[in-house]
Structure 1
């Protein structure tokens, strides 16, 4: 039985998933809570009100604009 070293196990991690494949926009049915969470804010009555107003003016694209 051989012991692996950190260098040996790191070799298999050399292949990275392209960033574009790691991110996706929501397909639909975006909720105000989704927008609050995507913005990195805590879900509170105030942030939900903010999200509702933003979604009324921008629609589901409001969440997509937050994504990298």
Structure 2
């Protein structure tokens, strides 16, 4: 029995981008929305530090394949 062909770099890239998109939606987007809401209520500039840290963490967790 022959094993399935290895995915192409473009297929791998597409899969990673889908994983990142899901993680952003579930993990980082709520942090950004909360920071913006809190800032509006307080009349200050948003503190995006938690959001930026989460986005960086997601990028490390789902690295793009080499071209």
Query: Which structure has more helix as a fraction of its residues?
Result: 2
Greater CA radius of gyration, 1 or 2?
Answer: 1
Do the structures match in fold with TM over 0.5? no
Higher relative contact order (CA closer than 8 Å, sequence separation 6+) = 2
TM superposition score normalised by structure 1: 0.30
